[in-house]
Amino acid sequence: MKKRVIIGILLMIAISIIAIYFFFPFDTIVKEKLEQSLGKNVSIEKINVKWNYIYASGISVKTAPELEFLKIKELKVKLYFLPLLRKQLEIKEIQAESPHLYLIKNKKGQWQLPSLFSSADTQKSSINLAVKELKSISGVVIIQDEVKGSYIKLTDVNVSIKSNNSILQTGNTLIYASAQISDGGSLTINSEGTFPHQQLKGTLNIKDLNIKVLRPYMSGDVKVKRGMISLDSDFSINNGYVKAPFVLKAKQVEIESKGFLMGVSAPLLIELLKKKEEIVLPFNIWGQWDNLQNDLESVIKKQITEEVGKTITSPLKTITKPLTGVIKKGK
């Protein structure tokens, strides 16, 4: 009799749990809570809550002036269930499918960024958050500078950020990113370090970038006809301070300009580009994120000076060579 009663109670509990799972509006409640906490600039079309993951689609994040900042087609969050009992939200993986990120600098020189989290949400959460891995697949990044009039589009953007502990906390983090650049070229970043504290070491490689993309950042009367550049760097970042020795390779570059270009005589620079199929320039970038410095201009000036010296010395050698022979015969 007791066994039947226990079995009956367990059966009722199981039926209640199943009924709650299937009929209680978890999805709607979670969706409303998320939108309330994230603020009016974030909207989510659909959320599906399961035991070990949350699936969301149609995510949109806008900036204050109602401009598009981020769109995510599909977002899947894989959870560990047991840590919730210890008031810890441990996320195994966050995977974003086909995200579109819009980085726009307006004519006032200000980046258009969203204001996340509502002002009413001022209390600190009692649940500790840990994220093991963040992935972005087949994304698109638009970088638009209305001051310079530039527009750069990155496609097929894939990002992986992985940590043994949490990418939001102190600990070793691996970061890999790759993308295709509009009008030709590719980008890869491979780094390791502590992500939240901006302590990273890694490599940056840009291959066969169409030089026309950089035209808005060239001062003066410059007409860029064609050309490709590649950049390779072993960089380090420590608390926002950047040290990045670069090697720039330029090939098949054809430009037209008068006066000065990057602080050197434009005709001399154009002549150098014509003489060499590929130019290799080692230079450095350093400084804080918001005040980066570089010595590219001085490196170009040095190379121009060396080439001019060779041009002057070469005819002199041609003239003096016969005289050297005459002097030797006289002796």
Distance between CA atoms of residues 272 and 253, nearest Å: 10
Residue 131 main-chain phi, psi, to 5 deg: -120, 120
Distance between CA atoms of residues 250 and 67, nearest Å: 37
Question: Could you tell me the two tokens for 238?
Answer: 């420590």
Residue with tokens 């006066």: 259
Distance between CA atoms of residues 330 and 84, nearest Å: 98
How do the domains of the chain map onto residue ranges?
A: 27-197, 199-331
Residue 144 near residue 168 (C-beta atoms within 8 A): no
Interacting residues of 252 by C-beta distance below 8 A, sequence separation 6+: 226, 227, 228, 277
- pLDDT tens-digit profile of 33-55? 555 555 678 888 888 877 777 88
- pLDDT tens-digit profile of 147-198? 888 889 999 999 999 998 888 777 789 999 999 998 789 999 999 988 666 7
Distance between CA atoms of residues 227 and 233, nearest Å: 20
- Report residues of the chain scoring pLDDT below 70: 1-39, 65, 81, 83-88, 116-127, 195-197, 217, 219-220, 259-266, 307-331
